[in-house]
Amino acid sequence: MKRVFSGVQPTGNIHIGNYLGALKQFVELQEDHECLYCIVDEHAITVPQDPKELRQHILDVAALYLAIGIDPKKSIVFVQSQVSGHAELGWVLCCNSYTGELSRMTQFKAKSGGQESVGTGLLTYPVLMAADILLYDTDIVPVGNDQKQHIELCRDIAIRVNHNYKETFVVPEGRFMKAGARIMALDDPTSKMSKSAINVHSRISLLDEDSKIKKSIMRATTDSDGEIRFDPENKPGVSNLLSIYSAFSGEDIETIAARFAGKGYGDLKKELVGVTQEALAPIKANFKEIRESDELKAILRDGAERAGAIAEKTMKRVRDTFGLGF
Ligand code: TYM
């Protein structure tokens, strides 16, 4: 069985971009793959966090994982900092990556731009991500498009170590959704939907109330030519709404666009409100109960134990490759 690994940062506001680009794949894959789904708290501290809030967000993401349908009997669900191999392998991989390739990463440039002093963790962020993936001999990494460059770097590092030392790592592949791989901000469809944007109507969070979902979609930025057609370059707003519709409903984008031919943007938006509310209703219903249950932490502890056992096997191989210890 092929092995799958992916992670989400516990930074609050998990939105439909995260869901349609990544989380939805997690649920599908667990049926016929060996899956590990991680809450990457060590990545979260590459920027300052409130420690109390971070701990809450870790449990929030864990509860969301289960609420969307990840089954802890089928998949391993755990928190990154609970398995020490991530940080350990992260260091080894730092010694096998170049500052040049790291400083060329789009996400690093975006996050460090304009700051006077830039945290080293922001630069080495993708190396820790590579460690997450390689630690489990991962075959497949389901993620959104924005992580493509990081997956490429992970592959480069794995190939480099295998070549310069000896065959040590499985070289993984990214897995991207057809619709949903890059959901754009509702208020500005030229930038991606993000957890940190100031305008709450730029995104729909998975736990948003129905009234908030409606407001955000109805006020989404479109254009003035009035034609419903999928054309991301010239019509980014309408195309984004069609992508979201398609990703939630499973219906082909072209089919949806054809159905709305001759109709107005208001009609598309109204239907999309219904589709979105319906898709998120069961997640919201499940979330509260799971978040409050005592079982949640037990599931994470069990997950860390199972993940730790796999990680330790890889670390033995890594220490042997590099001659660490005795
Ligand atoms: P994070 O927490 O920013 O996002 C979680 C997942 O959501 C995807 N995503 C999107 N997909 C479509 N449209 C969007 N607007 C959108 N925004 C975010 C992301 O691509 C991601 O799959 N670096 C990762 C976390 C990570 C990781 C890993 C992932 C750490 N180690 C190892 C895979 C494997 C991140 O910041 O995700």
What DSSP line would sit under 109-141, residue for residue?
HHHHTT-SS--HHHHHHHHHHHHHHHTTT-SEE
d(CA 101, CA 97): 8
CA distances from 23 to 143, 159, 160 (A): 8, 28, 30
pLDDT tens-place string over residues 227-264: 999 999 999 999 999 999 999 999 999 999 999 999 99
- Residue 115, pLDDT score: 83
Q: If pLDDT is split at 50, 70 and 90, which confidence band does 175 have?
A: very high
Beta carbon of 40 within 6 Å of any ligand 1 atom: yes
Beta carbon of 129 within 6 Å of any ligand 1 atom: yes
Please state the pTM of the whole predicted model.
0.97
Q: Report the Cα–Cα distance between both ends of the chain, in Å, rounded.
A: 33
Instruction: Give the domains, in start order, of the chain with CATH numbers.
Output: 3-180+294-322 (3.40.50.620), 200-288 (1.10.240.10)
Q: Taking Cα atoms as reference points, which of 325, 291, 311, 318 lies closest to residue 82?
A: 311
Residues 38-47, mean pLDDT to the nearest whole number: 97
Residue nearest to atom 34 of ligand 1 (CA): 6
User: Given a cut of 90, is residue 211 above it in pLDDT?
Assistant: yes
- Residue 116, pLDDT score: 81
Mean pLDDT across the chain: 97
166 is catalytic: no
Give residue 298's identity as a one-letter amino acid code.
A
Contacts of 279 (CB under 8 A, 6+ apart): 248
Q: Taking Cα atoms as reference points, which of 177, 179, 265, 264 lies closest to residue 218?
A: 265
Q: What is the dihedral of CA 210, 215, 216, 218, to 10 degrees?
A: 120
Beta strands in the chain (DSSP E): 3-8, 34-39, 75-79, 140-142, 173-175
Q: If pLDDT is split at 50, 70 and 90, which confidence band does 207 have?
A: very high
148 is catalytic: no
316 is catalytic: no
Counting Cβ atoms within 10 Å, is residue 54 exposed (0-12), middle (13-18) or buried (19+)?
Answer: middle
Q: Residue 191's Cα: distance from chain center in Å?
A: 17
Q: If pLDDT is split at 50, 70 and 90, which confidence band does 113 have?
A: confident
Residue nearest to atom 7 of ligand 1 (CA): 18
d(CA 159, CA 61): 32
- Residue 12, pLDDT score: 83
Q: What percent of the chain has pLDDT over 90?
A: 96
Beta carbon of 186 within 6 Å of any ligand 1 atom: no
- Residue 13, pLDDT score: 85
Hey, how many other C-beta atoms are within 10 angstroms of the C-beta on 266? 10
